[in-house]
Amino acid sequence: MPTTQYSVADRTAIVTGGSSGIGRTIAERFVADGADVVVCSREQERVDEVATALADADGEVHPVECDVRDRDAVDALVDATVDTFGGVDILLNNAGANFYSEFDDISENGWQTILDINLTGTVNCLQAASEALRAGSGGAVVNLSSFVTHFPSPNQSHYGAAKAAVSHLTKTVAFEWASANIRVNAVAPGVVLTPGVKHVLDKDVDAVPGRETVDRQVGYPEEVADLVQFLVSPAASYMTGEVVDIRGVPQSLNLDDRFP
């Protein structure tokens, strides 16, 4: 069976939140396949480290400091991508943030911060990259949503609200941008074993089963990267406006039950 339809070689991608976790894993996957990738995060030294680590890959990496809440910084990110690589073919809106708190205890600042990073940051990137995506022969966007949008998730009301908005935004923008030959989809992961998850949960995650185990509640960044690469590749040419879950066996919503 041919596999070239899954390739992103010779394309240019922007990956926000690309210094660690899911974003970094996806950037690594794209570059290894021959794509040129601009990675951004709020700290230049962190994306510089990614660029150094991937210096010998098939594609090129250009690191840019960018806070997705700052529209001027996002405009500069897109301009840097076009100046460096000539255009934008793929946009991965991965930058996000979360903290756990009961609804009554969330401050106004805490609520606004989570909405600004997860929702407004996605809006900024979509609007800033729109012209560059339209200038090419066809673009692909993947937004990061979350499984918590489907369920009442204790201590994540702010995060769930922001990600639910991202899911709806994905469907609407996909409809509006289809005539420009731009596909817009979203991925809604369950609990994924990233450094951020390890820190927030403070659990013994070393005993989490590996990829070969089906009956599990926790996934790995590489598994999300597999899905994202499919969605931005020609293999997914008939998919737009979809929010695709990737979350293993659906069981408890209590995060404490997902770890030993």
Q: Which of 100, 159, 220, 238 is catalytic?
A: 159
Kindly state the tokens that stand for 101.
Answer: 């708190």
Tokens of 159: 């995060």
Nearest C-alpha neighbor of 19 from the set 163, 196, 245, 233: 196
**Tokens read off for 8:** 């992103």
**Do residues 31 and 59 lie in contact, with contact meaning Cβ atoms separated by under 8 Å?**
yes
Handedness of CA 84, 87, 126, 75 (dihedral sign): positive
159 flagged as catalytic: yes
Neighbouring residues of 243: CB distance < 8 A, sequence distance ≥ 6: 145, 167, 170, 171, 185, 186, 187, 188
Cα separations (Å) of 118 from 69, 79, 93, 197, 205? 9, 22, 9, 16, 25
Q: Which residues have C-beta within 8 Å of that of residue 135, sequence separation ≥ 6?
A: 87
3-state secondary structure 154-176: CCCHHHHHHHHHHHHHHHHHHHH
CB 23 within 8 A of CB 15: yes
Active site residues: 159
